[in-house]
Amino acid sequence: MMRLGLQVPNFTWSDDQCQLGDTFATIVQRAERAGLYSLWVMDHFFQLPVFGPVEHEMLEGYSTLTFAAGHTNRIKLGMLVAGVTYRYPGLLVKTATTLDVLSHGRAYFGIGAAWNEEEHQGLGVPFPSIAERFECLEETLQIAHQMWEGSEKPYQGKHYQLARPLNVPSSVQKPHPPILIGGTGERKTLRLVAQYGDAWNVSLRQVSRDELRRKLEVLRDHCQSIGRPYADIEKTTLDTNLRITRDGRDNSLTPAAAIEHFRELANLGIDQAIFNTPNVTDLELFDLLATEIIPVVEQIEATSR
């Protein structure tokens, strides 16, 4: 069954900042009522240029997801994706576990190697080399698995040392919240997905359809090399600024065109299509999702598995 998820990367909706929380609560409630499978926010502290000036509103991700959990009951919640540099791994796993517990088992654990040097420098966060960031990412994934297994034995890594990685309460989801790793690298990222992950996400702004097809085959090869069933990995994509309207005005997609777009992704082997949209505050969007799009998309089976 093909699933749809909504990412909310932009919080600049009104000059009245006091309305921000109310607007976001309305969006997440509409997303759940429409039948969307998941809701995502970015792990950024400055706004990204693709969405607006760097000075525009940006909320801390896990606080935002916890707020969303309090206004919903069923929709899955995750960061797309947490940067490994922003939080010590033991505290990151504890934070993700807390979200899973308070949401009754609705958390994804999205994580990646981080990339935005500007916000690291701006907020005084160390920004190591890309090679070191990937080493930190692998150690964090190892720590996450150990903590969710309930093992309190000391962890001794190159970058992190944990004397007692205690994690109580444990997650509601067993054996742990799905671990989603984001990125496009075929040698490092996709190997980590095969070895440690439950899901992979790639932005469609970064890859063509042919490149996506090739990367899925690379992921399959990594799975085969370690004896991991390829079908165990949830394959997800992110569409940026995907606008859907009833009549396709202003170069947007009609419901039929949106369904065809999602069908093409499913035919490539994608299980969940996540998107963000500039018209996220429009009720029309959620009406179309609920009545015309999601009921059809949920009948589509991913192929090429």
Q: Model confidence over 159-201: pLDDT tens digits?
A: 999 999 999 999 999 999 999 999 999 999 999 999 999 999 9
Beta carbons of 245 and 252 less than 8 angstroms apart: yes
Residue 305 lies in a domain: no
Residue 304 lies in a domain: no
Query: How much is the mean pLDDT over the chain?
Result: 97
Residue 170 lies in a domain: yes
Beta carbons of 182 and 80 less than 8 angstroms apart: yes
Residue 174 lies in a domain: yes
Beta carbons of 255 and 293 less than 8 angstroms apart: yes
Residue 61 lies in a domain: yes
Distance between CA atoms of 148 and 141, rounded to whole angstroms? 11
Q: How many other C-beta atoms can be found within 10 angstroms of the C-beta atom of residue 223?
A: 20
For the whole model, what pTM was predicted? 0.96
- Our count of domains for the chain comes to 1
Residue (of 186, 195, 88) closest to 142 by Cα position:
195
Residue 152 lies in a domain: yes
Residue 302 lies in a domain: no
> For residue 40, what pLDDT is reported?
98
Q: How many other C-beta atoms can be found within 10 angstroms of the C-beta atom of residue 293?
A: 24
- H-helix segments, the chain: 20-34, 61-70, 89-102, 117-123, 130-149, 189-196, 209-226, 255-268, 283-288, 294-297
Question: Which residues constitute the domain of residue 41?
Answer: 3-297
The count of residues in the chain is 305
Burial class (CB in 10 A: 0-12, 13-18, 19+), 281: middle
Supply the CATH number for residue 18's domain.
3.20.20.30
pLDDT, tens digit (0-9, with 9 covering 90-100), for 74-131: 999 999 999 999 999 999 999 999 999 999 999 999 999 999 999 999 999 999 999 9
> For residue 304, what pLDDT is reported?
55
> For residue 305, what pLDDT is reported?
53
Residue 303 lies in a domain: no
